[in-house]
């Protein structure tokens, strides 16, 4: 993809693809036959939308809006559109949206469809429970489970946006967003400004636009992540190549799965930093270093200990989220993705929820009777998405606690996990089946 590569900068590794990338302005062009075969009326062809953020959430929103006939410009703070990180899991709640947007075929070509999700003991290596991702799963949720590289997904979205007429502009750092009766405005550091019927902020965990809604700050979990990818034949301590495996243990876990049609292997180690626990006032670079990584995993089984040798050790990602936010909209301004609901990674739903946001946003704007009712449409988007996203945020925290419990709690957890059949989808229906669609 021209102009794309690794995003330089901070260690906000758990962001759902809407990293600190900025801005999007919606189209006036009419594209016959948008998503689900919709054709827009002439009043819709005159509505501009500005979205701040060019990561996975922002580009998915741009693509959905462009396919519905809007004219879209993406203003990216970085010098190029890129994603920092490695592997990404896309559950059916996200792949259904990507299919409607016409890009799922490319995602399947670039990724891997695992046979099952598997939890193992990081200490004893025993299998605890699994989720079968085969035909019954796909039929139930009407879409597949896919794993792929973050940069591959962003490249697919980038190219699809270009093909749909989206104007992609890097080096655009949005400094201020304002709203008045007639339009919303985004002002950039280089002196340029853009007006639109609405501003959609997809500017990540450290969203500047979010400050219009709340003075809250990111919440540090005290856990840190190390990542690493390598050629598949170089990794000697790997799991089966048709599995996504999470090895779980007291205050730690280790995830493994293949990427790029099985050509490379992705691994992630996460652990609680004792140094941070002793002094929560430390800056991010002062805790969670490689010495703590080795100490945290020294009691694990041989395969996990060996696998940590294939991680990158020159960078690590402190894990943050925020408290759920009830109000995502203010007049012509709305939040999307990590700007609205940054979450911990334990449900692998950060990017998935941003993709769901983009779909919900496009649907309410497609139903909006005109720019004069844009505020009502954005409020409907928030009403549709905020309660569900808040539940995912809270459940991710609890699921992390379950993974990382020790002592008697771990023994009880393991016994309950072992009794659960692999084709029991009752615990994932609420997450993968998708929320109800609301009409404006």
Q: Which residues are marked as active site?
A: 257
Q: Give Cα 323 to chain centroid, integer Å.
A: 17
Which among 3, 336, 385 is positioned nearest to 170, based on CA atoms?
3
Contacts with 270 (C-beta within 8 Å, 6 or more apart), sequence order: 223, 224, 225, 226, 252, 253, 254, 255, 319, 345
For CA atoms 413, 416, 422, 424, give the dihedral sign.
negative
* Pairing state between β 219-231 and 317-321: antiparallel
Looking up tokens 């075969």 gives 37
Buried b / exposed e over 111-150, threshold 16 CB at 10 Å, is: bbebbbbbbbbbbeeeebbbbebeeebeeebebbbbbbbb
- What is the C-alpha R_g of the chain? 21
Give me the DSSP letters along 352-390.
HHHHHHHHHHHHHHHT---GGGHHHHHHHHHHHHHHHHH
- Per-residue tokens: 115: 């046979």
Cβ atoms < 10 Å from Cβ of 421: 10
Quote the CA–CA distance of 159 and 108 in Å, as a whole number.
Answer: 16
Please, are residues 383 and 327 in contact by the beta-carbon 8 Å criterion? no
Count other Cβ atoms within 10 Å, centred on residue 38: 17
Q: Which residues of 206-222 are buried (b: 16+ CB within 10 A; e: fewer)?
A: bbbbbebbeeeebebbb
């Amino acid at each position: 993809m021209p102009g794309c590569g690794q995003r330089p900068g901070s260690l906000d590794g758990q962001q759902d693809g809407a990293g600190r990338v900025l801005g999007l302005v919606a189209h006036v062009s009419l594209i016959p036959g948008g998503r689900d075969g919709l054709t827009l009326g002439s009043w819709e062809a005159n509505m501009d939308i500005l979205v701040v953020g060019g990561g996975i959430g922002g580009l998915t929103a741009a693509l959905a809006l462009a396919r519905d006939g809007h004219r879209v410009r993406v203003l990216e703070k970085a010098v190029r559109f890129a994603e920092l990180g490695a592997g990404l899991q896309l559950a059916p709640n996200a792949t259904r949206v990507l299919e409607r947007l016409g890009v799922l075929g490319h995602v399947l070509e670039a990724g891997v469809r695992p046979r099952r999700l598997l939890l193992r003991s990081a200490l004893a290596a025993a299998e605890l429970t699994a989720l079968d991702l085969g035909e019954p799963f796909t039929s139930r949720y009407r879409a597949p489970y896919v794993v792929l590289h973050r940069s591959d997904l962003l490249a697919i979205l980038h190219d699809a946006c270009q093909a749909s007429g989206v104007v992609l502009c890097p080096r655009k750092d949005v400094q201020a967003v304002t709203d008045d009766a007639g339009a919303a405005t985004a002002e950039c550091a280089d002196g340029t400004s853009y007006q639109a019927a609405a501003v959609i902020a997809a500017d990540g965990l450290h969203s500047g636009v979010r400050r219009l809604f709340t003075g809250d700050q990111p919440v540090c979990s005290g856990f840190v992540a190390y990542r690493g990818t390598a050629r598949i034949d170089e990794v000697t301590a790997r799991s089966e190549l048709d599995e996504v495996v999470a090895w779980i243990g007291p205050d730690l876990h280790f995830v493994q799965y293949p990427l790029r049609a099985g050509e490379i292997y992705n691994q992630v180690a996460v652990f609680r930093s004792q140094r941070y626990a002793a002094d929560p006032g430390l800056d991010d670079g002062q805790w969670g270093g490689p010495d703590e990584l080795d100490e945290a995993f020294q009691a694990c089984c041989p395969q996990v200990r060996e696998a940590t040798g294939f991680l990158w050790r020159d960078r690590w990602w402190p894990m943050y989220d925020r408290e759920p936010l009830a109000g995502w909209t203010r007049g012509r301004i709305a939040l999307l993705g990590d700007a609205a609901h940054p979450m911990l990674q334990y449900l692998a739903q950060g990017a998935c929820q941003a993709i769901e946001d983009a779909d919900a946003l496009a649907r309410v704007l497609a139903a909006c009777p005109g720019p004069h009712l844009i505020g009502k449409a954005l409020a409907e988007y928030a009403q549709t998405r905020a309660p569900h996203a808040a539940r995912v945020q809270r459940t991710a925290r609890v699921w992390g606690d379950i993974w990382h419990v020790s002592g008697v709690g771990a023994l009880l957890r393991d016994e309950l996990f072992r009794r659960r059949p692999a084709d029991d989808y009752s615990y994932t229906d609420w997450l993968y089946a998708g929320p109800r669609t609301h009409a404006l």
